[in-house]
Chains A and B, each alone.
Chain A
Amino acid sequence: MGYLARQLAGPTDPAPDAGWTEAPERKGFFTDTSICIGCKACEVACKEWNALPLDGLSLSANSYDNTGGLGASTWRHVAFVEQSQDRIAQARESGRRLVELGMPGVGAPPARREAMPPAPVDGHGPDLRDMLAAANATTVEGTPVVGPLPDFRWLMASDVCKHCTHAGCLDVCPTGALFRSEHGTVVVQADVCNGCGYCVGACPFGVIERRSDSAVSVRGDGHVPDVGVAQKCTLCYDRLTDDQTPACAQTCPTTSIRFGTREEMVAIARERVAQLHQQGFTEARLYGANDDDGVGGTGSVFLLLDEPEVYGLPPDPVVPTAKLPEMFRTAGLAGVGLLGAAAVAFLGGRR
């Protein structure tokens, strides 16, 4: 695909496209929500490392989620969803339907294809295959299910900026305050941002936000930095520069948040979802691993256990700038129409 054609949509490597020569490999997160325990250590680590101000202190009564969502001063957010048995069954069924659709067939399937998990690491304990053999339930495909459906489950998922291949926020920024880093991530330069707020409306995931003056400082001198400036996760640009792991990934106690090259993250994610499906957990699905999606794939890949909208994620996000050529063409046509109308009005009529 040509250089210009791949700037607004489709699969591409964003850092070289942004003009980086000899860019390091694209970095990203893989957030495996199936092993998230909802401890919110990622939220805390992010706040601490980035010295983010307080943005409210209240109880939401929405399960254990008192954070609400991502925002100018919240760059990691742990979602909590409480589900009953029928919802779990629906999630399992909707995931199974995805398989039936033959979705998505991108890339090579993961190497491991056997219907049962592999043998455990030597000396580490019992063989899971014995357990699976003992359980008598199977899915419609005949794959053994690990136990019957539980009565209840908690979905916990740590959400973060997706660092899209085609980032709406970055594309629409009129000042160049948002830029593509050499790691393929999207970062705000606070001193360049003029606070126009356009990026806020251009993010398909509702991540970036302008910091309001209601933010409360956590610093000794009471200063709130960058009020009126758009803010979001930088994928710890400062830590990456020194070959460090982002704060959230480093602190995650269950390795639910993993950090590495995007290629590696997608590979791990594919392997993991295949493993869960083999075990009968057909509700598992990946989010953002497909480079053909509406944002050209996301730098942060997620493994979800239900439809994305259940977690507050859009089911089919499209970066608005993908349609920009079409919009400018329509506007051009309308503009020519206006010029024509003026000409007709002045030159076409009688004096």
Chain B
Amino acid sequence: MTTSPFDSYRPPEEGRRRRRPSVGSQATDAARDLARTGRTWLNRDGGGRREAPAVPDAEFTDYYGHPVIKPVPWKHEIPAYLFIGGVAAGSGLIAAGAAATDRPVLLRNSRYTAMTAVALSGAALVADLGRPERFLNMLRTVKLTSPMSVGTWILSGYAAFAGVTTAAEAARAVRLPRRGALATVQRTLEILDTPATVGQALFGPPLAAYTAVLLSDTVTPVWFESRSHLPFVFVASAAMASGGVQMVLGPTSETGPVRRFALLGVGTDLLAMHRLEQHLDGLDLREPLETGAAGRKLRLAKLLTVAGGVGTLVAGRSRTVSVVSGVALAAASALTRFGIVEAGIESAKDPRYTVAPQKRRLEERRRQGNVHDSIVTVR
């Protein structure tokens, strides 16, 4: 039984545990004494020695440095998937271009690249799941509010078209007999070839771009705040990566358009990354992109992008320069993906990056007299 004067404001408990009168009157008496002297635990004013607080006074506005949000529990498989998926997406477009402009070696190379990449993408995604045996649960629903669900269907659609084009390419390569079931299969594949090529090309851009939404649709500060710029970085990165791979694999006589494609990627990547950095700088969120392992990766990525871009520009008919530039561009793309993912995860681990931008935008809204949408209210 407590003896706080506030007990007088406690409503009677209904139906159970009735106070015994003797105890009740004692409490009331004690409370009345306190009320008479006016001294309670609430208005006593020091005197006597007190224990020093266990935690020294500090101007912290976070909770013991604990993160406010949780970083996504993603390992290296996800940035690897972002890169490989980018290669797949770009390769599909290159394959369509090669088919349209009659470049057989480029067509073959890009189709096989696309199929390999999409298979590796699937493997990376399954490996990343907490329960890989439940991968197919992803296909039990279509959910437009979930970029991961949308992406799964984009990847599945892309893989289906890539399967057909790869089979058509393989069937051409192995010279099947002219009669019988195999010949029917080959004829079917020939008929399906063009629509599948177009389908693969149309699924390519969504495959390259959705991964940016996948990252941005989280509360991870760096990713969420990058939402207006990240899709451009990612499609540019996909163009660089897929172009780079084909520059490595194909003869220079057929890879002219691929070099142009990669160069457009380089230009867009440098511009979009610059704008992304400027944007995050304004929110005091640039630090995760510049420090630690992520910072090193992104700096190296920029260096390789510029070097690979210059190399691509001057490569001409030189196979060696073309291969070296291609490798540089693909590596730059991979490093960009790893750097962005790691920077995001770092930004989620530090409460500063979560709390400071939120407080700033809250203050900004309050200064503008906009107080209706605050989660903190006083009435």
Residues of A within 8 A of B (CB): 7-8, 60, 62-63, 65, 68-69, 79, 81-82, 84, 86-87, 95, 98-99, 101-106, 109-110, 117, 120-121, 124-128, 130-131, 134-135, 146-148, 151-152, 168, 171-177, 192-198, 200-206, 208-210, 227-230, 270, 273-274, 277, 284-290, 292-295, 298, 304, 307-318, 320-321, 323-324, 326-328, 330-339, 341-351
Nearest chain-B residue to A266 (Cβ)?
Answer: B377
| B68:A206 contact, CB within 8 angstroms | yes
Nearest chain-A residue to B360 (Cβ)?
Answer: A316
Nearest chain-A residue to B215 (Cβ)?
Answer: A201
> Top 9 nearest A-B pairs by Cβ distance?
A195-B130, A147-B43, A228-B130, A125-B8, A312-B63, A335-B205, A346-B97, A201-B72, A194-B134
| B63:A126 contact, CB within 8 angstroms | no
Interface segment, one of B156-164, B171-179, B256-264, B300-308? B256-264
Known: A148-B43, A197-B130, A342-B96. 9 other contacts (CB 8 A): A81-B63, A105-B371, A284-B378, A293-B374, A331-B209, A335-B235, A345-B260, A349-B256, A350-B256
Nearest chain-A residue to B34 (Cβ)?
Answer: A126
Nearest Cβ on chain B to A169's Cβ, whole angstroms: 10
| A337:B43 contact, CB within 8 angstroms | no
| A197:B72 contact, CB within 8 angstroms | yes
CA distance in complex: A316, B218 (Å):
15
| B141:A203 contact, CB within 8 angstroms | no
Interface segment, one of B116-124, B184-192, B226-234? B226-234
Q: Say which residue of A124, A193, A287, A320 sits within 8 Å of B131 (CB atoms).
A: A193
Name the A residues within 8 Å of B264 (CB-CB). Answer: 341, 344-345
Interface segment, one of B54-62, B286-294, B320-328, B329-337? B54-62
Name the A residues within 8 Å of B218 (CB-CB). Answer: 168, 172, 198, 201-202, 320
Listed by A's residue number, 16 A-B pairs whose Cβ atoms lie within 8 Å are A82-B54, A82-B55, A95-B378, A104-B372, A125-B27, A125-B31, A126-B5, A127-B8, A127-B35, A228-B129, A317-B219, A334-B231, A335-B235, A338-B208, A345-B257, A347-B100
Instruction: Tell me how many residues of B have a C-beta within 8 Å of chain A.
Output: 116
| A174:B216 contact, CB within 8 angstroms | no
Residues of B within 8 A of A (CB): 5-12, 27-28, 31-32, 34-35, 38, 40, 42-46, 50, 53-55, 57, 60-64, 66-74, 89-90, 93-94, 96-98, 100-101, 128-131, 134-135, 137-138, 140-141, 143, 145-149, 152, 201-202, 204-206, 208-210, 212-213, 216-220, 224, 227-228, 231-232, 234-235, 238-239, 256-258, 260-261, 264-265, 268, 348, 351, 354-355, 358-359, 361-362, 366, 371-379
| B57:A197 contact, CB within 8 angstroms | no
CA distance in complex: A217, B284 (Å):
43
Name the A residues within 8 Å of B57 (CB-CB). Answer: 84, 86-87
Nearest chain-A residue to B262 (Cβ)?
Answer: A345
| B93:A339 contact, CB within 8 angstroms | yes
Known A-B contacts A125-B28, A293-B373; the reply to A337 vs B268 at CB < 8 A is yes
| B55:A176 contact, CB within 8 angstroms | no
| A204:B93 contact, CB within 8 angstroms | no
Q: Say which residue of A8, A230, A342 sits within 8 Å of B97 (CB atoms).
A: A342
Known A-B contacts A62-B64, A131-B38, A177-B137; the reply to A316 vs B8 at CB < 8 A is no
CA distance in complex: A98, B217 (Å):
31
Name the B residues within 8 Å of A81 (CB-CB). Answer: 63
Name the A residues within 8 Å of B67 (CB-CB). Answer: 206
Name the B residues within 8 Å of A8 (CB-CB). Answer: 145
| B224:A320 contact, CB within 8 angstroms | yes
Nearest Cβ on chain A to B201's Cβ, whole angstroms: 8
Nearest Cβ on chain A to B123's Cβ, whole angstroms: 15
| A194:B137 contact, CB within 8 angstroms | yes
Nearest Cβ on chain B to A84's Cβ, whole angstroms: 5
Name the B residues within 8 Å of A63 (CB-CB). Answer: 54-55
Nearest chain-A residue to B71 (Cβ)?
Answer: A201
Nearest chain-B residue to A65 (Cβ)?
Answer: B64
- Among B45, B71, B143, B374: residue with most chain A CB under 10 A: B374
Known A-B contacts A175-B140, A290-B374, A338-B209; the reply to A121 vs B43 at CB < 8 A is no
CA distance in complex: A172, B150 (Å):
10
| B371:A341 contact, CB within 8 angstroms | no
Q: Say which residue of A104, A128, A307 sits within 8 Å of B8 (CB atoms).
A: A128
Name the B residues within 8 Å of A104 (CB-CB). Answer: 371-374, 377-379
Name the B residues within 8 Å of A308 (CB-CB). Answer: 375-376
Nearest Cβ on chain B to A132's Cβ, whole angstroms: 10
Known A-B contacts A87-B57, A314-B68; the reply to A202 vs B217 at CB < 8 A is yes
| B361:A316 contact, CB within 8 angstroms | yes
Q: Say which residue of A79, A202, A277, A298 sits within 8 Å of B378 (CB atoms).
A: A277
